[in-house]
Structure 1
Amino acid sequence: MSGANPSDLLYTKWQETATVVLMPILLAFGLITNFSFIFMVYRVPDMRITINMYLMSLAVADASLLICSISDKLLRHGTSPSFGDDGNRGTAGCILIAFFINTSLIASELHILILAVERYYSVCWPLEAHINPRKRAVRLLTAIWLVSATISISFTPAFANYRLYCLLYWDSKYVNPPETFGVCLTVSFTEDTSDIDGAIVYYQIMQSSAFFTSVIVSNFLYAMILRRLSRVSESLENRGMVQTIHYRNGQIRQRLNRMLCFNSLVFFVLLAPFNINSLFYFVSYLNDHKKLVEPHITAILDTAFRLLGYVNSGINPLVYGASNPRYRKAFVAAWSSRTLSKSRTLVVRN
């Protein structure tokens, strides 16, 4: 670290603005939206359906990701003027912070996948899907969090080597410059080798695989679901059953599935830039660190793409309300002096 220019480690204006202004706004926004959704489900009896068990767990994952990731960025900024300085957290801090952030991120991605699988199962095998749906939901949600924690633990070698470097040769124009720079590295990292590190390879492959698998599989399943529901609706219309409860329940399910499909698309649009950027970094790493993009541009894009990821973690409840009138009414009712009446709402328990 002594061979580098310490001034290059300082926050740029863009990084300063993103950290001090935008991230706190996104943190507050995400906590308000996610906990508002949880409050809505608690307050409105008609919204205590099985699918909302998954969405509440997703809200917890998103809120946890925002709290762990953004609070870590704010703590770094508050303790050091150097961007990316891990301070004096030590090896335990490196491991724990990475564990909580990665567990929340992977859980969020797995929720999108499991939601698609659950909806596909409900539409294509409705009789089997209605057998103990809540019990099945509890098992799947437990599995999501256990798998996420297990994968996150397997990432530990990529962060379990804490190093504290001395910063030398500061320009005289800096007043009270930092003397050290902490960084969390892989357990096999050494100063005298540039060999490809297996821990980094594993981490990058697993991180990208979790995202792209979730996106590809979920969007394929939603396409199949909407196609099947469209055929069912056409069949009922042709048989003159438009006014039946069966038809109206089908319309409610179709709106619900379209809402989740739209949510999956938003998930892809907002998180794809960060994951694609990570792939470029991985390719650069495998190619002897040859830069595909200029470093200062990479720094700008990395921060911008992270902000998009934080937007994704807070926007889901707004997507529900924007794409499904039932959720809009429930949000309004949750904050009013009365809740939705079961006698006035058609309830679909799935």
Structure 2
Amino acid sequence: MRCQNKRRAPHKKLRRAFAYIRFSGGGQSLFRTLKDVEEAPLSSYFGFPPPPNKLCVTVIYIPLMLFGLLGNILTILVVWLRPHMRTSTYLYLSSMAVSDLLILLLLPLDLYKLWRPRPWPLGDLACKLTMFLSECCTFCTILHITFLSLERYLAVCWPITAKTVVTRRRTRAIIGCLWLSAAVSAAPVLVMVGVEDGGGLDGSSNEGRGGETDKRECRCTHFAISSGLLSAMMILSNLYFLVPLCILGVVYSLIGRTLWLRPKSSRRDQSHRNTVKMLGVIVLAFVLCWLPFHRLPSPQLDTYAPPDTHLYFLYYLSQYFNLVSSVLFYLSAAVNPLLYNLMSARYRHAVRSLIRTQSHAQARRMHTLTVHHSTTTL
């Protein structure tokens, strides 16, 4: 009987682990899964190699965060300090850069939760706000890509209408509405997450383990799981991905058809082609990076299933899948400035101009300080 209880323990933990369904708010679910595997390692039961460790995740994330912060800050500065870059397209892209910047600024908290998941040091309000902000920025990025593509559809397929409909003032108003819509859609997260006693996967408190006494975690609450709020939020998250994906497919098919049938001699059409190519690559990167987050839920394990069932192997593989999907999530927030630089000559020239201007301004300030110091000395 004692041996049988030991054998059932990992099944119960694994079954409870599958209850934590991913929704698209940052990488928190990855860190939850990694911690669960540390508490009930499959390698000790089934002879599998160890899952990805914390150091591996950290080594990947830190350069990604630094690169993304630099690129998105540069994009925001280029658009707002260069008047000729304030077109409707680049207004959308700069707002997307703000969203991506906020996502990357939350990454250190995810890393902190990876290395020290408990106790959560910032309180219940900070827990709710950080998760809400992550989900809000996720929705906001999707909406920006969708409306930017619709704006390009008007510019290419209905150019006369676009001249009267697409204006900077109207674009700024639409961007404000997109942020508001994303905030309203993410509002349930404020109820879904909070600081709760983590204990173990089987509900135990693990008292004395590692010298820890405070088990409070920033996590999805039991109320959200039992009430069905988490399931509803996952449906909303999937709709936020699938509906725009269908819209983008139709829009770019119509744009491609229109450009294909037109003569290629027009300079305006050539400009449209370059812009559409850049946006097409951005959309492709978006789909590839975010598709893993919208896979089907993991299967539930039977508590009394034999230990050699294939579900355990699938669960183990999901640890690596979660690692890849979370890396892709943050990669999507960091890669866009690189795509702009590779595919837009206008963006490259604006970046060079901004850097050159700042370098000259710094040199003039240094020269002024040197002359002033020399005059004072004399």
Identity %: 22
For residue 272 of structure 1, the aligned residue among 288, 291, 296 is 291
Structure 1 stretch 105-114 or stretch 120-129: which is displaced more? 120-129
Amino acid at match of 1:133: T
- TM-score, normalising length from structure 1? 0.77
- Provide, for residues 88-110 of structure 1, a one-character-per-residue CA deviation record: whole Å limited to 9, x for no partner: 54432332121111011111111
Match status 1:230 vs 2:260: yes
Q: Secondary structure at the match of 1:14?
A: coil
What is the CA–CA distance in structure 1 between the aligned matches of 2:277 and 2:290, rounded to whole Å?
A: 20
Residues 196-216 of structure 1, C-alpha deviation per residue, up to 9 Å, x if partnerless? 641111111111111222222
Confirm whether residue 134 of structure 1 aligns to residue 168 of structure 2. yes
Structure 2 matches for 1:258-297, cutoff 5 A? 258-276=277-295, 279-281=296-298, 284=299, 291=311, 294-297=314-317
Alpha-carbon distance between aligned partners in 2 of 1:260 and 1:87, rounded to the nearest angstrom: 40
Distance 1:42 1:161, change over 3 A: closer
Is 1:6–1:168's contact at 8 Å kept on the other side of the alignment?
no
2:196 aligned residue: 162
In 2, Cα distance between equivalents of 1:123 and 1:29: 33
What is aligned with 2:183? 149
Q: Distance in 2 between matches of 1:134 and 1:227?
A: 27
- Cα distance change of structure 1 residues 264 and 6 upon mapping to structure 2, 3 Å threshold: closer
For 1:288 and 1:145, locate their aligned partners in 2 and report how far apart those are by CA, in whole Å. Answer: 42
Structure 2: how far apart are the matches of 1:14 and 1:7?
Answer: 10
TM-score by length of 2: 0.72
Are residues 1:186 and 2:221 paired? yes
AA matched with 2:297: F
- SS of structure 1 residue aligned to 2:52: helix
- Residues 1:14 and 1:8: Cα distance change in structure 2 (over 3 Å): closer
Q: Alignment partner of 2:297: what SS? A: helix
Could you say what secondary structure the match of 1:201 adopts? helix
Hey, what does 1:75 align to over in structure 2? 112
Query: Which one of 250, 253, 263 corresponds to residue 272 of structure 2?
Result: 253
Determine helix, strand or coil for the equivalent of 2:216: strand
The alignment status of 1:62 with 2:126, answered yes or no, reads no
Alpha-carbon deviations, 1:288-329, whole Å to 9, x = none?
899585333222221221111111111111112222333233
> Residues 1-350 of structure 1: matches in 2 within 5 Å?
8-9=38-39, 14-68=52-106, 70-77=107-114, 80=116, 84-85=117-118, 87-131=120-164, 133-160=167-194, 162-165=196-199, 166-168=205-207, 170=209, 176-183=210-217, 184-186=219-221, 188=223, 197-232=227-262, 234=263, 242=265, 247-276=266-295, 279-281=296-298, 284=299, 291=311, 294-337=314-357
How many residues were matched structurally? Answer: 307
Find the aligned partners of 1:198 and 1:329 in 2 and give their Cα distance: 51
CA distance in 2, matches of 1:6, 1:35: 36
- Pick which of 153-162 and 219-228 moved more: 153-162
Over residues 109-136 of structure 1, what are the superposed CA-to-partner deviations in whole Å (9 max), with x where a residue is unaligned? 1111111111112223222222261122
- Name the CA distance, whole Å, in 2 between partners of 1:67 and 1:41: 21
Cα pair distance change 1:271/1:293, threshold 3 Å: farther
Cα distance change, pair 150–6 in 1 and its aligned pair in 2 (3 A): closer
